[in-house]
Structure 1
């Protein structure tokens, strides 16, 4: 991952929508926000492209790592067979290849760790940029709505009551939640309950694993 891409993401994520709105006076706010969204879309595409390359490289590196380990194991079997047949020359050649593989594996381990870290970082960037994208899109939508309301003739709209405003907020929350998750509130509540149960089960399994390992360590020292 290039430093340029990292700095671009950092600049976008660190940027505050409120700071953008503060600079909108005496300018074209709608055009500025739309332009910011286009820039964010471009950056998101670049990060996704980099993530795709990193994931592909990680997959290839894992395959190569597995091949080397398998080859090392196969050579060990060949060495035993060569010794049994009295062919020390063949055993020596196999051992030499094993030594070469053993020199390569630590380098590949480091490369795998680096690629894995880069993949996770880029995936986090994608999620962060998507969050910023939604934030900016909601800001643009709210601005457009405010302009429409400001353009209405005086007296055309009345101030909604508290109950009506609360209903609008609740409906707005449900719409946003359903758009982001594909679930209505009843389904979401059921999903959250199920997730809570699964988390409890996961915690129980983990506690059992800890207890088993502790018992194993104590038994080994007894």
Structure 2
């Protein structure tokens, strides 16, 4: 993963709710929050795109390694045949080709190993970004609930509701300031955002079920 993308994901994931810059007073809170979530969606898309490239490169290297190993085995058979036919010159040529293959195999194996490490790292980034998105979505929901309650309640906004609105607003605006998220960047389409949200929900439900199953198994239930 490029250093720029790594830094971008790191800033998003490491953002703290307790030690961020003051919110911009004139910003539209709800619009700002929605935009911040779309920016996280963009980051998820970029990481997944990088992950796709890594998986493709790993596939190519794996196939090439298999081809080289098959070629090496085929040459071994031909070497035996050449020697039986008293054609040592042909056997030498085949051995030379085997040595070339053997020089390439470690490089291909290292490429596959590096790709596997990068694949695992990127999958971790996707999981972390999805978790951050859920966190931000919860804050947006809290803001909207508090806003709706303040508009329907008598006598204006209660201190507790005002505190909820302020907390939600500051959370998103401070995240954007601290993490360098730009409102001018492109956003995901509505269809893509909906698909990502559905995938996120399914993934989260599956992780919850797996965790509960593991706990029940440990307790002997």
Kept after mapping to 2: 8 A contact 1:75/1:94? yes
CA contact (8 A) 1:79 1:95 kept: yes
Give a deviation string over 1:9-56, Cα, whole Å, max 9, x none: 111111134556952655322122111111111111111111111101
- Contact 1:17–1:136 (Cα < 8 Å) also in 2: no
What does the per-residue CA deviation read over 1:91-129, in whole Å, with 9 as the maximum and x for residues that have no partner? 011000001001111111221111111111111111111
Normalization by structure 1: what TM-score?
Answer: 0.70
Corresponding position of 1:63: 63
User: 1 CA distance for matches of 2:217 and 2:73?
Assistant: 40
Structure 1 residues 198, 55: CA separation in 2 closer, same or farther (over 3 Å shift)?
Answer: farther
CA contact (8 A) 1:47 1:122 kept: yes
User: Which residue matches 1:181?
Assistant: 205
- The reply on whether 1:36 has 2:60 as its aligned counterpart is no
Determine whether 1:47 maps to 2:47. yes
Give the 3-state SS of the residue equivalent to 2:154 in structure 1.
coil
As a proportion of its length, which structure holds more helix? 1
Please list every run of at least 4 consecutive aligned residues from structure 1 whose deviation after the TM superposition is greater than 3 angstroms.
17-22, 24-27, 177-180, 191-200
Q: Partner residue of 1:220? A: none
- Distance, in Å, in 2 between the alignment partners of 1:178 and 1:115 is 27
1:143-158 matches, cutoff 5 A: 143-154=143-154
Question: Structure 1: how far apart are the matches of 2:146 and 2:203?
Answer: 22
| Aligned length in residues | 178
Q: Distance in 1 between matches of 2:131 and 2:21?
A: 18
Contact 1:58 1:115 in 2 (8 A): yes
Unmatched 5+ residue regions in structure 1?
Answer: 157-176, 201-222
Q: Which position in structure 2 is the counterpart of 1:123?
A: 123
- Larger C-alpha radius of gyration, 1 or 2? 1
Matches of 1:45 and 1:21 in 2, distance apart?
27
Judged with a 3 Å threshold, the aligned counterparts in structure 2 of structure 1 residues 195 and 97 are, in CA distance, closer, same or farther, namely: same
- Across the aligned residues of Structure 1 and Structure 2, the Cα RMSD in angstroms comes to 3.2
* Residues 64 and 114 (structure 1), Cα distance of their counterparts in 2 relative to 1, 3 Å cut: same
Query: Residue 136 of structure 1 corresponds to which residue in structure 2?
Result: 136
TM-score by length of 2: 0.70
The alpha-carbon deviation at position 67 of structure 1 amounts to 0.9
* CA distance, structure 1, for counterparts of residue 79 and residue 151 of structure 2: 86
Unaligned runs of 5+ in 2: 157-200
Distance 1:28 1:194, change over 3 A: closer
**How far apart, in 2, do the equivalents of 1:116 and 1:44 lie?**
19
Cα distance change on mapping 1:178 and 1:119 into 2, 3 Å:
closer
